[in-house]
Each structure stands twice: as structure tokens, then as C-alpha cells.
Structure 1
Amino acid sequence: MGAEAIVTPAAGEEPVKGAKCDRVRSRSPRGVPRASVDAKAEHDRPAQDEDLDGHSAADIFGGGSSRSGLTYDDLICLPGHINFGVHEVCLESRFTQNIRLKTPVVSSPMDTVTEHRMAIAMALQGGIGVIHTNLSIEAQAQQVAHVKQYKNGFIMNPVCITPTAKLSELDDIRRTCGFTGFPVTEDGKMGSKLLGLITKRDADFVDNRAATAVRDVMKPVAELRVGQEGIELAAAHEILRESKVGKLPIVAGDGRIVALVARTDLHKQADFPLATKDRNGRLMVAAAVGTRPADRDRVRALVAAGVDAVVVDSSQGDSTFQHEILRWMKAEFPALQVIGGNVVTRLQAKHLIDCGVDALRVGMGIGS
């Protein structure tokens, strides 16, 4: 049994309940001083309310205290006895109805806080980031796409290239997207017939890059190790381990490429065991939207980019405008996780719950 969380009012406030200490009395075995036996019994027995300094969490938040309107500055957490290891601590919490975080930390949708780099860092550590809305629709959707593509299980939309493209064009694509290996397809598009794979090592020492075509240096599909459509992610990872290749194309029965699995993701998975991932092994990310009619186009673009949750960013959540966009999102995208807010009263919360939200954003500042 773990230690109970204890809180106490800030300095200067009068405590509600005084602390007592009733020692446990025990007959001392022959040859053992009574004081040592009493001390051990006192240490081992469960803590009772009368033993606690300050107030219990139940007392503070359950109505036992006459105080109301407490804020973080009014409370200080007191340490208790620890009889468990760090490895036994679980902080897993719900972000929404269907999204669980192993580290319950969310970065704010502020333009000085969360874009794709912060969202990636948050998701790798078990939290989640909310991409701010102070961007064009296209730019915000691209931010979401950066997160979804960073740590991939099955890469569902890998960048492909045509066999006739020159290595100089390949260099430009590498600089733009940061990747080093690309599937080669008939028309350079995902879903087309796979012809081969080209990596950095295939083209590194070619001098005349403007005149050399990809097909001249790529590894043809006949020499590639591929996975078949429907393969489980664990099985794909095992093929990568055994074959020692960097990338594993996943193909349909007719030879079309349907996904890609990268070896680098194996290392990332080992380094970040708490990472917040979707069912395809991709990092999860949320994004903020407003309540204007134009934000419906923003929501559509974010969903197309793979966003996992949408946060309606409004200081006063209980408005007709928010009600309308919440109902629209849940009707248009039933699987999309939607967070409404901000709310601070029970009636506000009820109104948004009635609109179908999957979570509430709680809190309201005093203004500036």
C-alpha cells in the first residue's frame, strides 16, 4: 500500500485539525529494549488520520474543510512514508475518452510553446502536444504531419521517387524532407508498383548527379526484402532485425507499395518506451481550432493530416459558437477525439458534455 498524499495550507493559515501521535504499546521480548520494539511497531502500522500533519486530500477536496476556492499557491504537499519502488509508480491518465498518456503532461496550444518539435518531444516522453492555431490551415496541417511522420510504425505515406528522376533531384528532396532512403515506384507516387529502393549509400559516390538517373543506381525490387500487406508490426520489426536492412517496403499482392517500415524506428522505440503512439505506432498529436465557420475547413485539413485530437481554443467555452462546432465535429468525424472548453462551472461543463466532447479543458484566468 502506497503512502497517502498529504497537503497543508500555506503559511499563516490556521489548521483545521491538530496532529496527534498515539504510540503503539507492545510487550518487549526478553533481552530487547522496549523502546526499539515500540519504534518498529510505530513504523510498520498504517498511518491513521490522527497521525497526519496538515490535512488529507479527502479533507481538502471532499468537503471536510470549510475552505473554498483553493488554488495551487494555497497548498503544499507534505512527504509521507515510502514503501514501494519507483518502478511501481504508474502515472497513466486519460487525455480523452480514447487517448491515454503514460506521462500526464500536455503542452499548451500557444504560438510560443507548441509546434511540431515540442509536440514530438512531448509524445516521446509519454505526454502530448497541442499544435497552436495561429498558423495558416496548410501550415498547421503540415505541423501535424511532421509529428505523425517522425516516429513511424507503418509509414503510410512515404515519399516516393520515379526511376527517371536524376540524383540531383533526389538530393533536393533529401534536403527538404530529411530522409535518406526512398521507394522507387512507376510514377513516383505511393500506391504504385514498387520498382526498387534507393538509399544514401547507393548514390553517395556518384559524381555526375545531374546526368545519372535513379534507376541506374537503385536496388531493384527483386533484390529487396519485402513484407506482405497485412503483416503485423512486430513481425516487420523482426525481419528488419534478421536481415539487417534499413527499410522494409510493405507490398500488396500485385506489387503495389502500401507502407514502409524503417529500422531507425526500432532504436527510437527502445529509447522512448513511454511514447504516446497510435495503433499504427505513430506518435500522437493534438491541434487547436477556433469556433468560426472557417475553422471547419481547418478541422478537415487536420483530420486529413492524421491529427488524433482537436482542442477548441476558447477562453469561454460555453458559447453558442463552440456548441455548434462541437456538434458539427462529432457528427462529421465521430472517431475524432474532441476537447472543449475552457470551463469553470458545472453548468458550463454539462453544456459541453451534452455536445459530445471527449474531454474538458478546465480553468479560467483573472485576465490582464
Structure 2
Amino acid sequence: MNKIDLGLTYDDVLLVPKRSKVAHRKDVSTRTKLTDKISMNIPFISANMDTVTESNMAIALAHAGGIGIIHRFMSIERQVDEVKKVKRHEGFILYKPFTLGPTATISLAREMAVKNQVSSFVIVDEKDRVLGILTRRDILFENNADLQVSRFMTPFEKLIYGPTNITLEKAKNLIQKYKIEKLPLIDKNRCLKGLITSRSIEHFYLYTDSTKDKFGRLRVGAAIGAVGDYLERAKELIDSGVDVLVLDVAHGHNEIAIKAVGNVRKKFKDIEIIGGNVATPGAVLDLIKLGVNAVKVGIGPGGLCTTRLVAGVGVPQFSAVRECSLIAKRYKVPIIADGGTNYPGDITKALAAGASSCMLAGWFAGTDESPGGIIYRRGMKYKIHRGAASFLAVADRKMASNEVTNVDKLNSVVPEGVESIIPYKGNVKDVIYQLLGALRSGMSYCNAMTISELHRNAEFLRITEAGFRESKSHNIQEIT
């Protein structure tokens, strides 16, 4: 047997404080790389789990300057819809606004408004020429839902619109001058080329740190698997405008996962790909050779994951991130530390160990933006949070896909995760604010104005269990 190495967790180490030039933690920049082509203003990614990230969470993370990864445990059609909700949520110009024909009924307009979460439609003819615009107010009190929308729209003759090359400032002035909320963009042939809304302009100024693509739309990622429909799913997601694909595999160094990464890269040469999960430098190198743009590191560190206990396999997360980052740095490929951040300071440790960003699950679960409703228990509010390999999560997927039709056959499931309830936390932006404040504080102690400086300046000290106990509040009765 080879020499047994020592593996360390975040609890086993502390960062040594340095003489610091950072006058105030607000001076610190948390800008980082998700992949070699995608930058973020904060190093936070919401995990691709069914109790963490769908469109609401992805929108919130992108607004804050991070990114959300839509989980894959749904139909292709629904996952595509979730991505579209994020991409359509904001952008200076909506290049494909929702339209209706003049003969469409009020009933259809209302149905489409609810389905697509919009409040207006541009009315066009069969040649895509603009005839008018219909807003929610136009039909708000109409009882006859069979009437055609052309009777209620603002006709083209009275329509305020702009040219296709309009600037943000001119669009804002038009919207303000005429007290309108929608500004269609029309070419010389009267064809619809886009739509600017008052909300999109408001968000442009409100969310200055947002993670956006070149069209001003929020960025979003989506997870795919390594078997079955993963190539079809990847194509549909790419067509819907997804910015990055995450290969969602428990053991990313498995031959099936490696083959899947190669197939996705071969078929879709331009899409950003995050490979994982892995925990060794050799696995990182193999994924980099296949053309991934970032690597997700973490085998079993998550609070809901029991892989290390059930399978006996894993690498303590601090050691995994540190060793994997050393090889990834040579190729300028970012490392994403996934899991194991039990305290805010663990995020600082993960980044200092070489990660460019952290994927977070438990921190964001239980918020308003996480999927699922609030449940009440003994007068307290909670939300469900479960691991992707927990029994109920696996059972739900097998039953939904008709892989298992007899409940008795679920006895063969060997879970590597657990289900839990966690206290309701309110809006995720408040959680992000606290985590970001902790990170900035940690960076200031390390004389790091940027995450790159944190990588260079970090000095770790291994501590004992007594040292960890001393790090926590002790000898008192906490009241909060």
C-alpha cells in the first residue's frame, strides 16, 4: 500500500493575518472568473439542485453579480423554459418580444401573459409588420374574452416607437416624455426588431453589478447529465441562450462522464463547459485536455451528501481544492469549490486555496427564491432541502421517468444523500450580503484587494481540534 497522505478540511486550517494595505473592506474587489470567458462580480454560484436553483434563484444570483445553475431534474422543455425566463427577465433590448396576431382573442392574450409572465404583446401581421401594441391595462376590465385584441390595442398610428439603433439615453427620454412602459423598435419596413421596457432600463441602472451577456441579458447556466438525453438537452439549452453547461455527475472522472464531456465539446464547440465533480489533480488534467472551461471540485463535502460514509470515498475539501488548483493554474482554467463551506470563513479559505468561485447550496436553500413552498412546524417556517442522491430525490426521478413503476423496486436504491428541513431565511439577497461582507473582511486580513492577490498572499496554518474549538464562540450562552 502506498503512503497514506493527510487530507484537510476547512476546519483544519486558518489563514494567517498579514500586514494589510486595505483601508476598508468595501475597497476590496470580489470580481472573478467563472470560466475563462465569463466573468462575475462576486464568486458565488447557486448549486444545480432541485431545492436550490430554478429561474428565480438564477435571476437573483445574476442580479447580485454571480450566476445560478438550473438543475436538470425536470423535462427538457421545462428546463429550457427556466433558462428563457432568466434570459428574458432583463436586457436593454428584448430581441424576440412576445407577439400576437390581430385576430387573437383576449382569452389567448391572457393565457399567454400568464404562461410567459409578461404584461404586453406587440401585435404584428403575417409579415411581422407592427400593427400596434396591447398591454394588460387595455383588457383589464373586459368581460368578453372572445373579442379580438385588435379592438383594444394601441394602433400603429398612435404608437410611440424607436429606431433599431437607438441609444439607452434616447430610449429613456422617449419613455419618460410620453409616459409609456414599452418602446417597440421598428425598421424602415415597419418590421419589429426588438422591444425596450421601462423595467429593463430601470434594472440597467439598479443592478450595476449584474452578470450579463453581450446583449445585456442576465447570464445563466444549466446542468446536463452524462447518459440518455444529455446531447439533446444540451442542444435545446444552447438554442435557448444558456451561457454555460455544467456536466452534473457525482464522479466526474468516470469513463462515462469523460466520454460525455468529449461528446459535448465535439458537438458544441463554442459553448462554455464546466466539468466535474472531481477531487484529484489527475482528474482535473483529464477534463482540461477534453476542453472544459472550468472544473468543479468536491466529492462528498456537502452537508446533505453521505457519499464518504456510504461509499467510503472522497477527499477532504480543503486538500482537494488546493491540489486541484495547482494543476488548473498551469492551464489558466478556473476551479469551482463545490461544497463544505459550513461557515462564511470557509468561502474565504476555499478561494485562498486556489478556487476562483464557490458553488453554494445550503446557504441559498430556504430562501424565497429557492424552489418549493414554506412548511410550518411548531410555529416555525421551514423549507425542504435535499441532496441530489438522497432517497426521495432519486425515487422521484425514477418514478417520474417511468424507470421504476413498482414502488417495491425502490428498495434497491442506495442513497448517498439525505433530506432535511431548514429554517426559512427570507430574501436571498440578504444572505449574499452577509457572505460577501465576510469574504471582504477575510480578504482585508490577508492584504488582498482582489481574489488574485488572495491566491498569492494566502498563508495557511494547520490547527488542532482545540484550535477549532477556540475559533468558535465558547464559555458563554449564545442568545442569537
**Is TM more than 0.5 here?**
yes
Partners of 2:235 and 2:22 lie apart in 1 by: 50
SS at match of 1:227: coil
Give 1:215 deviation, angstroms. 1.5
77 and 299 in structure 1: CA distance in 2 versus 1, 3 angstrom threshold: same
Matches within 5 A, 1:84-99: 84-99=23-38
SS at match of 1:212: coil
Partners of 1:194 and 1:175 lie apart in 2 by: 23
367 and 135 in structure 1: CA distance in 2 versus 1, 3 angstrom threshold: farther
Structure 2 match to 1:131: 70
2:46 matches 1:107 = yes
Residues 322-352 of structure 1, C-alpha deviation per residue, up to 9 Å, x if partnerless? Answer: 3333233223322211001112222111111
> Which protein, 1 or 2, shows the higher relative CO under an 8 Å CA cutoff with sep ≥ 6?
2
Q: Is the 8 A contact 2:275 2:294 kept in 1?
A: yes
Partners of 2:149 and 2:34 lie apart in 1 by: 45
2:112 matches 1:165 = no
Residues 175-226 of structure 1, C-alpha deviation per residue, up to 9 Å, x if partnerless? Answer: 3323221100114xxx7111111112333344x4335322122111232222
Structure 1 match to 2:11: 73
Q: Is the 8 A contact 1:154 1:233 kept in 2?
A: no
Residues 15-67 of structure 1, C-alpha deviation per residue, up to 9 Å, x if partnerless? Answer: xxxxxxxxxxxxxxxxxxxxxxxxxxxxxxxxxxxxxxxxxxxxxxxxxxxx9
Give 1:251 deviation, angstroms. 1.9
Structure 2 match to 1:197: 133
- Which amino acid is 2:214 matched to? R
Give 1:99 deviation, angstroms. 0.9
2:186 matches 1:186 = no
Partners of 1:353 and 1:270 lie apart in 2 by: 38
Structure 1 match to 2:243: 308
- Which amino acid is 2:298 matched to? G
Aligned mate of 1:325, from 253, 256, 260: 260
Percent identity between matched residues is 32
Partners of 1:319 and 1:340 lie apart in 2 by: 12
Aligned mate of 1:117, from 53, 56, 79: 56
78 and 269 in structure 1: CA distance in 2 versus 1, 3 angstrom threshold: farther
Structure 1 match to 2:215: 280
Q: Is the 8 A contact 2:92 2:204 kept in 1?
A: no
2:173 matches 1:244 = no
- Which amino acid is 1:348 matched to? A
Partners of 1:346 and 1:204 lie apart in 2 by: 60
Residues 235-281 of structure 1, C-alpha deviation per residue, up to 9 Å, x if partnerless? Answer: 53454344432111112332111211111122223332211111111
Q: Is the 8 A contact 1:110 1:132 kept in 2?
A: yes
211 and 142 in structure 1: CA distance in 2 versus 1, 3 angstrom threshold: closer
Give the structure-1-normalised TM-score. Answer: 0.75
Structure 2 match to 1:334: 269
Give 1:302 deviation, angstroms. 0.6
2:152 matches 1:217 = yes
163 and 230 in structure 1: CA distance in 2 versus 1, 3 angstrom threshold: same
Residues 65-107 of structure 1, C-alpha deviation per residue, up to 9 Å, x if partnerless? Answer: xx95321111234666674234422100100111111011001
Partners of 1:211 and 1:95 lie apart in 2 by: 49
351 and 238 in structure 1: CA distance in 2 versus 1, 3 angstrom threshold: farther
- Which amino acid is 1:364 matched to? I
- Which amino acid is 1:272 matched to? Y
How many residues align structurally?
298
Partners of 1:98 and 1:72 lie apart in 2 by: 29
2:164 matches 1:257 = no
Deviates more, 1:224-233 or 1:250-259: 224-233
Matches within 5 A, 1:287-302: 287-302=222-237
SS at match of 1:349: helix
Partners of 2:161 and 2:21 lie apart in 1 by: 51
Deviates more, 1:68-77 or 1:340-349: 68-77
243 and 89 in structure 1: CA distance in 2 versus 1, 3 angstrom threshold: farther
Could you say which structure has the higher helix fraction?
2
Partners of 2:48 and 2:280 lie apart in 1 by: 22
Partners of 2:144 and 2:118 lie apart in 1 by: 18
194 and 98 in structure 1: CA distance in 2 versus 1, 3 angstrom threshold: same
234 and 105 in structure 1: CA distance in 2 versus 1, 3 angstrom threshold: farther
Residues 268-311 of structure 1, C-alpha deviation per residue, up to 9 Å, x if partnerless? Answer: 23332211111111111101111115210000111111110000
211 and 114 in structure 1: CA distance in 2 versus 1, 3 angstrom threshold: closer
Deviates more, 1:292-301 or 1:320-329: 320-329
Q: Is the 8 A contact 2:22 2:28 kept in 1?
A: no
Q: Is the 8 A contact 1:131 1:288 kept in 2?
A: yes
SS at match of 2:100: coil
Structure 2 match to 1:147: 86
SS at match of 1:249: strand
Q: Is the 8 A contact 1:147 1:285 kept in 2?
A: yes
Give 1:233 deviation, angstroms. 4.7
SS at match of 2:99: coil
Partners of 2:299 and 2:84 lie apart in 1 by: 31
